[in-house]
Amino acid sequence: MDIRYKMYPYPVLAYFLDDYKDKHAFDVKITQVKDGFNTKLVFEATLTNKELLGLVRSGKSLFVYHLECSQTGFRKVIRTDRFSLSYVLSNREVKGSVQICPFIVATEDITSYSSTDFDDDYKGMTFDIEEGCVLAVGQQVNADVSDSIDDLANTPSIFSIVQNTDEAIKEMKVDGNGDKIVIQLPFNDYYSYKSMSQNPKFEPVLNALTIVPALVFVIEEMKRWDSEEMNRREIDCGWFRSIKHVLSKEFNCDVESDLSGMDSMELAQKLIGSPLPSAFAELSGGEGTEGGSVV
């Protein structure tokens, strides 16, 4: 969605219109911050028009941000009364340019609206504004999002999921001493895993059940290693080289100096593209699925 230089049947605060004396009284600074494989958008709104400010503070209008990626068809509308907020944009749902259009929109019918900052052509006039109508338009921002996803789910597999032949063991076991991370599933559960893995829609569910806890286990192990052990593992363990590469490239994390201060559970999920939302969406029949999250 590109902001069009359109005319309105009532005064609108916009940088391309002369309806208000201070046409720059509404502005939004949008900053991109890398968040692992995702992109965090930080919104900082500035509004100096006192009448519009009063409408926002009274709940009669809201800041509205329209996000759209033409390459993937992704669309999202964020409505808020907060001047500052963050939105985590999933890089799996967008590619290339994401158009971000800021507005102020009426949340209810507003009668006899007027502003002391109206242009002289509207001096002394009042207007009835209907719910949903645009009151202000900010500068459009085009955010460039990398379409290169180098997470562990897109590299040659560093995991080997095998069957534990001891039928008495009912728990999953993890071994990180070899070239791959070996995940041993209980005897009967392994057959369930093999059956579900044939259907791609169950991939996030299986990743959440098996890969995430396995990664938590090995990350906790890595935190306990000294430099000598890490050097040995880099030679002997392909999985360690892969994780080290992804952490450095996507998370700006040095395994020797930064890893100890990171949350293992959170990091394990992010390393494979945070499968939990998609897993719950699949298990609940797709109810409430939506990319990204407001912070």
Residue position matching structure tokens 């897109």: 154
Beta pairing partners, 12: none
- Backbone φ/ψ region at 274: left (φ over 0), alpha (ψ -120 to 50), beta: left
Which pLDDT does position 163 carry in this prediction? 97
Give one word for 108, left, alpha or beta, with left for phi > 0 and alpha for psi -120 to 50: beta
Task: Compute the C-alpha angle 254/259/261, nearest 5°.
Answer: 130
| Per-residue confidence (pLDDT) for residue 2, from 0 to 100 | 58
105 burial type by CB count under 10 A (0-12 exposed, 13-18 middle, 19+ buried):
middle
Q: What is the pLDDT of residue 288?
A: 45
101 within 8 A of 92, measured Cβ to Cβ: no
Mean pLDDT of successive 10-residue segments in the chain (295 residues)?
73 95 96 85 97 97 96 94 93 86 97 96 95 96 74 72 96 95 96 94 94 96 94 93 90 91 94 90 70 58
* C-alpha distances in Å from residue 137, one per residue of 21, 46, 82: 15, 12, 17
Which H helix or E strand runs over 194?
Answer: helix 187-196
State if pTM tops 0.75: no
